[in-house]
A and B are shown apart, each in its own frame.
Chain A
Amino acid sequence: MIPQPITITSGRLVLPQGAALPGAIRLAEGRIVALGAVTPEPGDQVIDAGGHLVTPGLVDLGVFAVDKPAFHFGGITRAALMPDQGPPLDHPARVRFAALSGKPDMWVHPLAAATRGLEGVELAELALMRDAGARAVATGRHWIGDSGVMLRLLSYCAMLGLVVVTHAEDAGVVGQAVATAGEMATRLGLPSAPAEAEALAVGRDIALAEMTGAHVHFRQVTTARALDLVRAAKARGLRVTAGVSPAHFMLSDLELANFRTFCRLSPPLRQDADRRAVVDAIADGTIDVITSGHDPRGPEDKRLPFADAEPGMAGAETLLPLTLTLVRDGRIDLARAFDLVAGAPARILGVDAGVLRVGAEADIALVDPERPWVVSSDKMAASAGNTPFDRRPVEGRVTALFKGGTRIN
């Protein structure tokens, strides 16, 4: 069924550059067909945006669960699914199944497991998984410790034209750590590892990317030292990109007080100097992507002593409002905010979305950027309420969402 064409009027269009442009947008046959000074055509459904922002649907690079209600609440129309599923996405059939699991109103882009069982030893069938719908390859929650395996992986993925999404924490230094070494971990008596574990991993993987010509995307870079390495690698022209989650630019390890397991994340929350370095790296373009890392976890995983709890947070609903705090603070402009959560992740995944452009997929969100609301862990759309932002007032809410030119209710 071809959806009825839609014209959204009285909006402010968030385009790849510049300030939001007052105007309208017309969606037909699943695509954006006109932008700007557009008038509805006969037979169009007309929606008055009431001055709200008209933005690309968010593209979330690196989620751990397909959680449609949370994604739709947060304005996310596409999500790249991490291979850490049960069983892992290390087989073409599972990749194909995952790729179809959200349709039609949510597109899931599976990330193929780099190694069989995500064990970091044997390469998985990457070309077969690519052709089954994998948009990139990922090492999963863990770093590949064996540099020989990583070298072979990157050279193979360079040939296949697949981006490698990697987790950057040196496994030997990290061991069983659940926190960043520092005063907080010391006072709480939590197993901890130095923040430099991240720079060690990033340094090695940049060297291997340079050797092989592969595009390496660090899913989360959270420390000043590692960000310096990424910045330098980009300056040398290497194909290196970096992401981060809002927790790492909003929160520091002080949140661990009282052993709050909703703040047990991977990588762990860092000290405040690193948090500020992340904000600077977003502002100067070192960080390309902001991801929710959506990982809903129920009480059986979280209502435990801190070190025994599983890492992860439900982040899909708060991704946009927390990113918009950087706009309000004057660190980035609105166009860049949507490049971080939509444009850049779409380019890395090689999908025709994430931007308002004639001809692109009509994945559209209407956003009231000033609408205030309070995050509440017991009233989440997500399948679990494990958010470290519980009870935090935020601004910015999606008021309508369209996937492929069809409104999602």
Chain B
Amino acid sequence: MHPSIPPVSSFREYPAGGLAFAHRDLTGIAQLARHEILYLLDEAEQWLALNRQSQKRAALLAGLTIINAFFENSTRTLLSFEIAGKRLGADVVNMHAATSSVKKGETLIDTAITLNAMRADAIVIRHASSGAVRLIAGKVDCPVLNAGDGQHEHPTQALLDALTIRQALALPPGSDLNGLNVTICGDILHSRVARSNVLALTALGAQVRVCAPPALMPAEIEAMGVAVFHDFNAALKGANVVMMLRLQQERMQGQFIPSPREYRHLYGLTLDRLARAEPDALVMHPGPMNRGIEIDSQVADHLTRSLITQQVECGVAIRMACLDVLTRRARGVPGWPALSGAPA
């Protein structure tokens, strides 16, 4: 048990069989109930163990085809999904679609229909526009996983972050994050990671603070159950976890901050600043990092405080769990009958 946080509650009694996760797709955290988030976290624990062995292969998805359709550039997420699929024994195909050539018109729908006709068993999608994954999910017959859509959601990132925190605090399976103080700082406005994390962390009982200059703070985000800060020093007080976000320069239209060094002056996580959080506060970053801007190297590389490499490790396990759970209905796993009605 971690010394500085209050005791957590435990929830291990999931609804039977397929009712534990009653969705065809994973388009966002917003669609998930608390027990469904916990179920995916618990399912991922077995894969963490497998991934640490030298023999990392399971045959669970042997014969299935998973298509990673990435309409936006990605290195780590794509690699993570590819490894997750392969470790489960699936045939994984990556489709790199340059955003420029497929952004407009019917092409996105046409691409979805084409992928569907190739009889994929699951499609993982990343797209630069909010809602694009939902749009595609409505046109295909197989489970769809959102690997990031615009500024909307990045659900597997939020799940892996929650798993990382649970692991770092040595919390047993079934644990939520009740009472934990988490500060998310950076470009909240343009961040799908922030939105998914706010949804997941608050659903798991954490107290979430978001911190950014006003121009990078979305309107009325208080309605999502978070406390809003513009002063990073104040936002750090009492924090058990500090989650840093990158400035998404590529999504900015116009100038949002005067300069990177001015941003660092106000919002960079330095060792000095980290001292304002709880003495053993943990540091996270979804990557890629801009060292020396939002996070200093001494913090990012801190042996006991930084969880950044653990996040990457948990990412593979979470994605394995998601691919396993979402393909159970098609694989005919007992207790997982096909869903009736519209995909949700």
Contacts and interface: CB of A to CB of B under 8 A. Distances in A.
A183 B254 contact: no
A176 to B, nearest CB: 5
A42 interface: no
Interface of B: 30, 103-106, 108-109, 127, 129-132, 134-135, 149-153, 192, 195, 218-221, 223-224, 253-254
Contact of B151 (A175, A181, A190, A194): A190
Contacts of B135: 259, 303-305
- Looking at B131, B134, B254, which has the most chain A CB atoms within 10 Å of its CB? B131
Nearest to A308: B129
A102 to B, nearest CB: 30
A306 B129 contact: yes
B219 A186 contact: yes
Given A299-B106, A304-B135, A305-B135, A189 B30 contact: no
B218 A185 contact: yes
A192 B150 contact: no
B153 A189 contact: yes
Contacts of A190: 130-131, 150-152
Query: What is the interface residue range for chain A against chain B?
Result: 20 to 34
A236 interface: no
A182 B253 contact: no
Contact of B253 (A175, A181, A183, A188): A175
**8 nearest A-B residue pairs (beta carbon):** A259-B131, A305-B129, A189-B152, A189-B151, A181-B219, A186-B218, A305-B132, A183-B223
Contacts of A183: 219-221, 223-224
A187 B195 contact: yes
B220 A307 contact: no
B219 A308 contact: no
A258 interface: yes
Contacts of A308: 103-104, 129
A215 B105 CA distance: 40
27 contacts: A175-B254, A176-B253, A181-B219, A186-B219, A186-B224, A187-B30, A187-B195, A187-B224, A188-B152, A189-B150, A189-B151, A189-B153, A189-B192, A190-B131, A190-B150, A192-B219, A258-B134, A259-B130, A304-B104, A304-B105, A304-B135, A305-B131, A305-B135, A305-B150, A306-B129, A306-B131, A308-B104
A190 B151 CA distance: 7
Contact of A307 (B30, B104, B150, B153): B150
A329 interface: no
Contacts of B220: 181-183, 186
A189 B254 CA distance: 18
Nearest to A259: B131
Contacts of A259: 130-131, 134-135
Nearest to B106: A300
Nearest to A181: B219
A176 B224 CA distance: 24
Most buried by B among A186, A300, A305, A307: A305
Contact of A188 (B103, B131, B219, B254): B131
B331 to A, nearest CB: 29
A359 to B, nearest CB: 51
Contact of A304 (B108, B151, B253, B254): B108
Most buried by B among A176, A187, A192: A187
